[in-house]
């Protein structure tokens, strides 16, 4: 969880240092086109057939009043920069489906919710298969003995759209479960270095997962170009998006 002021400063610093690419990706899957848009920070928007999905909506990352309403909202964990009630109020509509970790489900209240803990697998609306995978800190702590993201409290998600598998890591450090995630077509990996992995740590994690393509996100002041440089010659494509 971060303060809006910190995120704004990080945005100004990071965008100035990037040769950033357009934050939109179009993938062809066996079940039709998938479009992924980077909103900012850890926030994404996915469009698949007639289903529009917002992932970890956060007002500090984008203007949600100007974005399309959500058929689905996926929440990785309950920190405010991933579960933002103000952003959710701007994109929810009657019938919006929420997919979330148990702590976030409690905060969402009476919404149409699927609670998922690490290891759970579900088939959801739109012909999408989704699996909740571990996302946690092994080292970084809020205070001695208290991790920023304790094991079992939050999720990453591996979502299958036709023949394509997308990994949205959430807030995590490299963990042993990542070795079994393959095959992954596109991976979103955090690199901020304060609450999650540093760019250098993320490179080791990415090599273990071995996705076809990776997009470093949840950046703060960290430079995703570091990831791109360290992965040269690996065969893994790196997309550089400004996602502070």
Average pLDDT for 174-178: 95
Half-sphere exposure of 203 (CA within 13 A, CB side): 15
Per-residue confidence (pLDDT) for residue 19, from 0 to 100? 55
Q: Give the list of residues 6+ apart from residue 229 with CB closer than 8 angstroms, or none.
A: none
Laid out side by side, the sheet with 24-29 consists of 24-29, 32-40, 43-48, 51-55, 72-75, 97-100, 112-115
Coil, helix or strand at residue 124: strand
Residue 106 has pLDDT above 80, yes or no: yes
Residue ranges of domains in the chain: 4-238
Average pLDDT for 176-197: 96
- For the chain, give the number of residues: 244
Per-residue confidence (pLDDT) for residue 10, from 0 to 100? 44
Provide the mean pLDDT of the chain.
Answer: 92
User: Count of CB atoms within 10 A of residue 224's CB?
Assistant: 29
Model confidence over 200-238: pLDDT tens digits? Answer: 999 999 999 999 999 999 999 999 999 999 999 999 999
103 to each of 73, 90, 115, 144, 148, how far by Cα in Å?
A: 15, 21, 9, 22, 15
Average pLDDT for 109-122: 93
Has domain 4-238 been given CATH number 3.60.15.10? yes
Retrieve residue 12's tokens: 């100004």
Residue 92 has pLDDT above 80, yes or no: yes
Cβ–Cβ < 8 Å for 41, 218: yes
91 to each of 28, 77, 79, 135, 199, how far by Cα in Å?
A: 26, 18, 18, 25, 32
């Amino acid at each position: 969880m971060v303060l809006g002021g910190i995120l704004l400063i990080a945005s100004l610093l990071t965008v100035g240092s990037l040769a950033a690419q357009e934050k939109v990706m179009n993938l062809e899957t066996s079940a039709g086109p998938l479009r992924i848009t980077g909103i900012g920070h850890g926030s994404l928007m996915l469009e698949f057939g007639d289903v529009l999905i917002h992932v970890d909506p956060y007002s500090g990352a984008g203007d949600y009043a100007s974005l399309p309403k959500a058929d689905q909202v996926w929440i990785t964990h309950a920190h405010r920069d991933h579960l933002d009630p103000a952003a959710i109020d701007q994109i929810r509509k009657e019938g919006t489906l929420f997919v979330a970790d148990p702590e976030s489900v409690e905060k969402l209240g009476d919404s149409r919710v699927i609670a998922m803990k690490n290891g759970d697998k579900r088939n959801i609306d739109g012909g999408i298969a989704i699996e909740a995978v571990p996302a946690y800190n092994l080292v970084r702590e809020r205070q001695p003995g208290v991790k920023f993201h304790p094991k079992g409290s939050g999720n990453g998600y591996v979502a299958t759209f036709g023949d394509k598998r997308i990994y949205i890591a959430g807030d995590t450090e490299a963990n042993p479960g990542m070795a079994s995630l393959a095959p992954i077509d596109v991976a979103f990996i955090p690199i901020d270095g304060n609450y999650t992995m540093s760019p250098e740590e993320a490179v080791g994690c990415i090599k273990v997962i071995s996705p076809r393509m990776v997009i470093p996100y949840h950046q703060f002041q960290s430079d995703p170009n570091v990831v791109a440089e360290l992965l040269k010659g690996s065969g893994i494509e790196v997309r550089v998006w400004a996602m502070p």
